Chain A
């Protein structure tokens, strides 16, 4: 018995990886139009335009400007690697890097576990879980500038400040908060945790819903308490989400700008000067036009570092992710 090879349809998504893929047959232009290809392209056009104009074009321009001297009025001149060298030799550069790492570290120590703990506790609550979710998410919907202005009154360094008044009731303070080189960065992290925890809590709550309840029941039968259940069931089950939120947090904190810009403007004495704020200062800190070449050069350096870091992180944690 002989068989005749028949042209085969492309593999379904569920088949991919299980069977060999075959080359897709070429379609005639007319068939492409009839098969709604043109319609899809027309619908794609606005999206391409928006992405092109507001994402890709600025990225390309940034890469070019990093190698130029320009003030946006006179013709730009090529600078080679001068802007990168200037950033590297700027005494404020290591300060900004150190502060950014410090912010990321504090945020990781305090800002990362708090939403997880809150989500686990909220998942245990049987009544009014929705209300708690809303309360946790509320800071996220408050416009950041409003939030910062609110917290500025909390951080008022006088004895009439909100935090200092509360602490006075228990015999503490007053503390200088934003007015001290030692206290300023932890104060920013505290605000940042309050402002951003809600979104992460919602992600964790969604992930916790996906954990099979039978696993908790089995753990209970084995005599496990809440902490052991969290350690042996919850954390392993949501480790994929945990790893993703961790890299997102690290990338986010490496680009921290809003808090130091609005609270302290990088002070006191550069104690809260971050890499993003330094980029901003290069570009706009000098009223005579700033150094856009240095600003874009440092932007490229930061983007390159984060890309490499993300790749290494992904490679290192690939085997720990959910199978």
Chain B
């Protein structure tokens, strides 16, 4: 009986203890504020983590009342949606251009307008870029982190092994096809690889190809937009892939690669050419320690017509909608410090570059201007002594990108449009007898339904 009583007391104490500790965990100092911020993607190298931590230390030194808790973060459609639903996103997180406006309209991002207007450089923003972070009410709900144009990344070593000149990358789609075939024949490695995973990257890259040929995936805006996935340029792009896959056999044998997978495969030397954002070199270094000598990047070849263009996109920094006033103010300070000031403040740009160089992280990765080209070139001139990326290998891209017609991603239901295209790309790459036209019609109907629903 005695032992039962003792056990009872212990059980009650445990139950009460759980409650007490939960209550204690929710208390917070009134003067200090802690925010969690998106840091690096999982699997980043220790040097990359050190570099990030050094920037956190600099920020905390400048803002002694703010404690910053770095949280590993990688935006992918499913994980973002799960974290959004569960309320487990960090206080400051990143979203692609395609999503911010809709999330803002749904009340899922904090309103940053009052803090934005206090930024000394807020009038310098490129209006088109800023519009990506502005909701239907005109509120600023996210600030740009970076913008990219799609580019063709290639392995210079494989080019050389195949007897191709790495300083003269392909400038037409016909050349891409020929070079891919030669690389496969001479090296045994896939000459051209494409993201074809069912995580919307397949649709994203196909859209890039279609833009480059002159097509568009939709016309109009909002829920009144018309899906045009089954246009002649999409058919042309898919037929081109079909030929490279089944006739040339130059695309390898694995067709379920997503963004991280293809970066990993490229860094491991297993990919001749692939399409991704111009800023992907940062990930290739941070996550996969790519050998700089093999890396080359050029512009995507555009068809010779007026509508052909290069798909551009970007990333924005946003704040959780349930952040309190103190957290919101601290979050904006971090966004300004980490994302924006290196582009507008000479002192911060140099400090940032020095930290990156000290930790062997890339400085000078090709990106697009968030403000204007003049400001972009000025900021680049500040960090010129610290540039450590193989800038010579990037010249084909840097020399050509500002002459290309930059086209934003489909505006209405972007991710749903990409999702509808995933299956078509998968079908072309895994089934020789795919009826492209029929599949595109189905995809178009699916995308149109999503656009109508605004999902």
Residues of A near any B CB (own CB < 8 A)? 36, 38-39, 42-43, 45-46, 49, 71-74, 91, 156-159, 174, 176, 178-181, 264-270, 280, 283-292
Contact = CB atoms under 8 A, between A and B. Distances in A.
Contact of B81 (A46, A91, A179, A288): A288
A34 to B, nearest CB: 10
A52 to B, nearest CB: 13
B99 interface: yes
A268 B84 CA distance: 28
Interface string B240-254: 000000000000111
23 contacts: A45-B15, A46-B11, A71-B85, A71-B108, A91-B446, A156-B253, A174-B253, A179-B430, A264-B256, A266-B198, A267-B197, A268-B256, A268-B431, A280-B78, A284-B78, A284-B85, A286-B416, A286-B419, A287-B99, A287-B415, A288-B99, A289-B81, A290-B81
Contacts of A286: 77, 81, 415-416, 419, 455
A278 to B, nearest CB: 12
Contacts of B103: 288-289
B198 A267 contact: yes
A73 B106 contact: yes
B77 A285 contact: yes
Chain A interface, DSSP helix/strand/loop, else mixed: loop
Interface in B349-383: none
B119 interface: no
Listed from nearest, the 9 A-B pairs whose CB atoms lie closest are: A287-B77, A157-B253, A284-B81, A268-B426, A265-B198, A268-B430, A158-B253, A267-B198, A284-B78
A158 B81 contact: no
B321 interface: yes
Given A71-B108, A74-B106, A291 B455 contact: yes
Interface centre among B4, B80, B253, B422 (most CB of A within 10 A): B253
Given A45-B11, A157-B253, A179-B253, A270 B85 contact: no
Given A43-B11, A285-B78, A288-B455, A267 B254 contact: no
B85 A283 contact: yes
Given A45-B15, A179-B256, A73 B99 contact: no
A267 B255 CA distance: 10
A72 B87 contact: yes
Interface of B: 4-5, 7-8, 11-12, 14-15, 75, 77-82, 84-85, 87, 95, 99, 102-103, 106-108, 197-199, 252-256, 321, 415-416, 419, 422-423, 426-427, 429-431, 446, 455
Given A286-B81, A287-B84, A290-B81, 14 more contacts: A36-B4, A42-B12, A71-B106, A72-B87, A91-B446, A157-B254, A158-B254, A178-B256, A179-B256, A268-B256, A283-B81, A286-B416, A288-B415, A290-B85
Nearest to B80: A287
Contacts of B75: 287
Contacts of B253: 156-159, 174, 176, 179
A39 B430 contact: no
B11 A265 contact: no
Contacts of B419: 285-286
Contacts of A176: 253, 430
Contact of A73 (B77, B79, B321): B321
Given A71-B108, A74-B106, A289-B106, A269 B423 contact: yes
A46 B14 contact: yes
A179 B427 CA distance: 10
Contacts of A49: 15
A32 to B, nearest CB: 14
Contacts of A71: 85, 106, 108
Contacts of B429: 179, 268
B422 A267 contact: yes
B77 A289 contact: no
A266 B431 CA distance: 16
Contacts of B455: 286, 288, 291
B431 A181 contact: yes
Contacts of A73: 106-108, 321
A268 B108 CA distance: 33
A158 B7 CA distance: 62
B8 A42 contact: yes
Contacts of A291: 455
A60 B402 CA distance: 56
Contact of B4 (A39, A45, A179): A39
Nearest to A178: B256
A288 B256 contact: no
B345 to A, nearest CB: 32
A286 B99 CA distance: 10
Nearest to A71: B106
A250 B4 CA distance: 44
B428 to A, nearest CB: 10
Contacts of B11: 42-43, 45-46
Contacts of B102: 288
Given A158-B253, A288-B106, A267 B77 contact: no
Contacts of A159: 253
A216 B102 CA distance: 71
A36 B14 CA distance: 19
Nearest to A36: B4
A265 B256 contact: yes
A96 to B, nearest CB: 14
Contacts of A287: 75, 77-78, 80-81, 84, 95, 99, 415
A204 B256 CA distance: 38
Nearest to A38: B8
A267 B108 contact: no
A265 B321 CA distance: 30
